Structure 1
C-alpha cells in the first residue's frame, strides 16, 4: 500500500500511527517532495469512486490564496488534475492507495472498514 502524507500534518500523523498500531504495511511518500502525477491522480480518482473535488485540500492556505472555491466549478476536469499535480499542498491528505481502493483524508471508521 502507498501512504501519501505531509509529515507536519497532524491528521497524517494520526493516520500513520493508526496504520503502524494496526500492523498495516505501507510505503511512505512525502507529498511535497514527491507530488502525485496527473496519471496517478487520474488512476486514484477512478479507483476511489469519489468526486474530484474531494481530492482538494480545501482547508489549506494555497487553496484559499488561489481562491479555488470560486474557480473549481468552472474548471475542466483536465485543468483540475493539472492543478492538483502542480503542488502537493493543494492535494487532500493523507491518501492511502491499495490494490482496489483509495482512501482520502483520515476517518478511522472508514479506514477500519476498508482495511478490515
Structure 2
C-alpha cells in the first residue's frame, strides 16, 4: 500500500495526491501536522533513503533556520524526537510503499509507483510511436 505524507499548504503534496488519484492508485494519506509521524514511521522512511536524514530534512524551512541545536550532534533518538516534535523539519510530500520512497514531487520519479505491467505497456506504446515517427521521416 502506498503511503502519502503531506502538509495542508504544500503545492507539491497536492500534485502528488492528484497524480496518484489520476492513475487510480490506492493510497493512505496522512497530514503530518494533524497526525505527526511516529518514530516507527520515521525509521521506515529512513531505511528507504540513500542518504539517511540528509534526504528528509527541509533545509529551507523556517523550523530548520530556527533550530538552536546542531543536528550533527544529536543521537538518532534525539533526532527522531525532534522530527516528531517539529514536523515542519521534514520535506514533503513523502510517498512510499514497502520498497520505494520518493521525497518531494517529481513527475518522472513518481512513475515508479505504477505497477510494472502498466510501466511496460506505456514503454511499449512510446516505442511504437517512435517507430512510426522514424518511418514517417525515413
Following superposition, which runs of at least 4 residues in structure 1 exceed 6 angstroms of deviation? none
Q: When the two structures are aligned, how many residues end up with a matched partner?
A: 114
CA distance in 1: counterparts of 2:59 and 2:113, whole angstroms: 24
Partner of 1:48: 49
Following the alignment from structure 2 to structure 1, what is the Cα–Cα distance between the partners of residues 26 and 51? 24
- Which structure has the higher relative contact order (CA within 8 Å, separation 6+)? 1
What pairs with 1:1-116 in structure 2 (closer than 5 Å)?
1-66=2-67, 71-115=70-114, 116=119
What TM-score results when the alignment is normalised by the length of structure 2?
0.73
Per-residue deviation, residues 58-105 of structure 1 (Å, max 9, x unmatched): 22111111156xx12232222222111112211111111212222211
- Show CA shifts across 1:10-54 (max 9, x none): 111111111112222111111101111112111221133432121
Q: Cα RMSD (Å) of the superposition? A: 1.8
Alpha-carbon spacing, 1:67–1:22, altered in 2? closer, same or farther (3 Å): farther
